[in-house]
Structure 1
Amino acid sequence: MVVVGVGSNRGDSVAFVRAGIERLRTFAACDFRCSSLWRTSPVDCPPETDDFVNAVVAFEAVDALTPDALLDALKAIEREFGRELDPVRNAPRELDLDLLLFDSQTCQDEYLTLPHPRAVRRRFVLAPAAEIIPQLVWLGTGQTIAALLADLDDDADAQRVDPP
């Protein structure tokens, strides 16, 4: 199963997230699942950063898709939606697409780390993911997404705002 985080905190974030989700459907062979939209507080962002709208999608990938090819495609989609390389880490953006898991594959290089190294500590990933794949065991943790969310010790805010 491929898991992708979708987020936005600039412009019409709800519309950007919904459009991003629709673009991701092209990579699914079957079993495309999408969480509700969530309004979440920013994490590791510059001061005064607006809240995010986030969602998570999970799907079985088309046969020829590789993690590197999907990451390239995700970055291209982000650019189509106006994302530019910003020297400020985690600056506001119209669309943010994060490759979180790709089946049971692991990778760690300068371009891609799988599974995503911070996803299991982020409510804006775990809350939406728990809606659609609560029993999925997160690679490398031995825990389900539901258990990871239940054990999360943070003060980040995440509120469901809209179905997809």
Structure 2
Amino acid sequence: MKAKRQSPARPRRPAARKETADLGEWAIVALGSNLGDSRQNVLRAMACLRQFSRHPLRKSSLWQTEPVDCPPGSPAFVNAVVAFAPRRGATPEALLTRLRALERAFGRRPKKVMNEPRPLDLDLIAFGRETRASQRLTLPHPRAHLRRFVLQPLSEIAPDLVLPGQAKPVWQLLTELPLDAAPGPEALPVRITQPGGRRAPAAFATCARRAGRTPKSAIRR
């Protein structure tokens, strides 16, 4: 069933969370899907990301957004953001490798057309205060502060977070983002689940199998 659209409105600052400060050392990953059962793809991917974290994930709502810079006729996206504490010894490069493997496990193939529909898209937005500027990886994500489909869900879980290289917290970046930064009012996100809602349906063992690993080897303390 298609999500009911809400009237466009400028976002307000979300209620502050006491835990926001500690997110400065966490990894932040943006999820998106606009191919197949996008809602389930994102929920299952959230469950799979748990294996990369020392603690339970901080998860946003799911948001339906119109495609930006995609081929004409592309379906709407389902987007979300998660934050988690990387396992000890993890590096941004190693995490990126695992995110790409997870995309492939969900059926993503090498792209033939720029920004074509895909079952799963995982963008590493930040990794603590780490910065990178290589051909393979740029941290923080160079366009995260300009993307409503990143800032909207991120503002739910870390409104006061200041991304590396930015002077303003996430909630303020979102508030100041021009409405015409997206292609018209229809592109404003529509929330389709509430944060902290029901658990994603994919079992941890299923995630491990999808990534070509056994559950036992996937769990590392």
Q: Same fold (TM over 0.5)?
A: yes
Q: Which secondary structure does the structure 1 equivalent of 2:118 belong to? A: coil
Distance across 2 between alignment mates of 1:143 and 1:60: 23
Structure 1 residue aligned with 2:17: none
Instruction: Give the TM-score, by structure 2 length.
Output: 0.72
1:18 aligns with 2:43: yes
- The percent of aligned pairs where both chains have the same amino acid is 48
Amino acid at match of 2:104: R
Amino acid at match of 2:99: L
Give how far 1:55 is off. Answer: 0.3
Distance across 2 between alignment mates of 1:20 and 1:31: 14
Q: How many residues align?
A: 164
Give how far 1:31 is off. Answer: 5.0
Runs of 4+ in 1 over 3 A off after TM superposition: none
Structure 2 residue aligned with 1:66: 91
Q: Identify the match of residue 143 of structure 1 among 144, 168, 171.
A: 168
Structure 1 residue aligned with 2:66: 41
1:125 aligns with 2:156: no
| Cα deviations by residue, 1:137-156 (Å, 9 ceiling, x for unpaired) | 11101110000000111233
Q: Identify the match of residue 83 of structure 1 among 108, 113, 121.
A: 108
Q: Identify the match of residue 162 of structure 1 among 178, 193, 196.
A: 193
Distance across 2 between alignment mates of 1:30 and 1:147: 27
Amino acid at match of 2:127: F
Contact 2:64 2:77 in 1 (8 A): yes
Distance across 2 between alignment mates of 1:59 and 1:151: 26
Distance across 2 between alignment mates of 1:46 and 1:63: 40
Looking at secondary structure, tell me which structure has more strand per residue. Answer: 1
Q: CA RMSD in A?
A: 1.0
Distance across 1 between alignment mates of 2:62 and 2:153: 8
Distance across 1 between alignment mates of 2:57 and 2:155: 15
Q: Which secondary structure does the structure 2 equivalent of 1:14 belong to? A: helix
Q: Which secondary structure does the structure 2 equivalent of 1:5 belong to? A: strand
Pairing 1:99-110 to 2, within 5 Å after superposition: 99-110=124-135
Compare CA radii of gyration and give the structure with the larger one: 2
Q: Which secondary structure does the structure 1 equivalent of 2:83 belong to? A: strand
Gaps of 5+ in 2: 1-25, 198-221
Amino acid at match of 2:188: D
Amino acid at match of 2:191: R
Give how far 1:29 is off. Answer: 1.1
Distance across 2 between alignment mates of 1:41 and 1:139: 27
